[in-house]
Amino acid sequence: MSISRPLNHLSIAEAGKALRAGEVTALALTEAALTQIAEVDPEVHAFVLLTTERALADASKADAAFASGVDKGPMQGIPYALKDIYGTAGIRTTAHSNLLRDNVPSEDSVVAAKLAEGGGVLLGKVGTFEFAIGGPSFDLPFPPARNPWNLDHFTGGSSSGSAAAVAAGMMRMTMGSDTGGSIRGPAAFCGTVGLKPTYGRVSRRGVLPLAYSLDHCGPLSWSVEDSALTMQVISGYDPLDPASAKVPVPDFTASLGQDLAGLRIGYTRKFYLENPFLDPEATQALDAAAQQMAALGALVEEVDMPPFEQFDAACRVIMFGEAYAIHETDIKTRPHAYGRYAYQHLISGAVLSAADYVQAQRLRRELTAAVNQGLLGTFDALLAPNALGTAAPFSDFGPDAGRWGGMLTGPFNVTGNPALALPIGFASNGLPLSVQIVGRPFDEVTVLRIGAAYEAVAGVTQQRPQFALQAKAA
């Protein structure tokens, strides 16, 4: 291939082909990324720590490996960043909190180690909501990330810096985490792809936890293929993560490029129609996405889900109960070290009883059966709403932690199913709209197939905010 576009506009697959053909070096890709970061991050605030020396060293190692005929896989020579809850040996990991402002782990998290072993180029750590909960706080060690489509709007959370960095063209993939929608929500609001894999597909060892039975690790990226290629590197059984599943790692790219003929997709339209936060433009975009998937050969039928309120109650009780258990000592002994938003969310777990938690887990089993044995016993995948509107402005956030309405991501943390956030258009205010594609447990391949087929004809993921267009050709 001949490179006619700025290097930051190449996908992982495109950059990989160019690297292997000798048309570009990992060092050139890294320098282009560092240039883009220098140009746009002073306004976007995605990064909390830039590891320039590490990135240049990683790039040099990748180039040397290529020169020696050593190929470590799809991430070799590719710049990436980690949400600042991923442990990194010798590199500060703060969870965007004063409590861990000087925390330097002695070991890499499993995902960080796999990306390093795969020849990736670590650019640094990107921002999060404090301990992956709370909101866009201004009382923390670092400012909150801003939405590259409109800097007056927030990114969603908690993988806020991850989504902002990808949307602004600083790199093509960042790692996020998802406990109630923290990959898919920011992906929705920032117009990126975001994949929450099946619970247990990717090890969480070494990643600061929020809620053990809901936490997932996954990528945010510019394209479906970029997420698929990342999954190839980070997936796999980890016997030291109690939730890790001993299942084969498939070829996540195997079905990319196929149409949707023969697939049955259940469209959960009634699930959101009465939600008070629904924007009519979101309904139009979701309906259009369903129609497009039908045009690609899928049989798309409307289906019923259990009420959102049941999923939401189960998710919130489990999340806050487990999060409080993790933070109980610090909440009791140094509450003022937390930012206001995170404290207010975490302390809510103190009033939950064991009975509340048990009932939430009981309901969780019933809801999971309704999705997996019911709907996904008939359909290959579900088309579901993600955010029912666009990103709110920072001015909507007051001094106390609130809930931004219209996020319908939590149900699939409750069930653990793989769920892909996919951009489907833009509202009249110029901000992105998104959908979720939900699959059977450990069937990310079908989810990615559907996402890639839609992406190829819709062309939405190829539209970028002005910030992403500032990259200079190398």
Q: Which residues form the catalytic set? A: 83, 158, 182
User: Is the distance from CB of 146 to CB of 43 less than 8 angstroms?
Assistant: yes
How many whole angstroms separate alpha carbon 317 and alpha carbon 59? 44
3-state secondary structure at position 307: coil
How far is CA 27 from its chain centroid? 26
How many whole angstroms separate alpha carbon 377 and alpha carbon 69? 46
| Helix axis angle, 224-234 to 444-458, nearest 10° | 160
How many whole angstroms separate alpha carbon 226 and alpha carbon 112? 17
Token pair for 165: 């960095």
432 DSSP β-pair partners? 426
Token pair for 94: 């703060």
How far is CA 408 from its chain centroid? 15
How many whole angstroms separate alpha carbon 130 and alpha carbon 341? 8
79-83 β-sheet, strand order:
47-50, 121-126, 79-83, 173-178, 216-221, 193-196, 419-426, 432-439, 381-385, 264-267, 299-302
3-state secondary structure at position 192: coil
Phi, psi (degrees; rounded to nearest 5) at 276: -65, -15
Q: What is the DSSP letter of 471?
A: P
User: Is the distance from CB of 389 to CB of 185 less than 8 angstroms?
Assistant: no
Contacts of 260 (CB under 8 A, 6+ apart): 293, 296, 297, 298, 449, 450, 453
Write the DSSP string, 239-293: TTSTT--------TTTTTT---TT-EEEE-GGGTTT-TT--HHHHHHHHHHHHHH
Strand runs (DSSP E) across 53-207, as ranges?
A: 79-83, 121-126, 173-178, 193-196
Strand runs (DSSP E) across 269-375, as ranges?
A: 299-302
3-state secondary structure at position 48: strand
Contacts 24+ apart (CB under 8 A), 372-377: 372/415, 372/417, 372/440, 372/441, 375/266, 375/303, 375/305, 376/266, 376/417, 376/439, 376/440
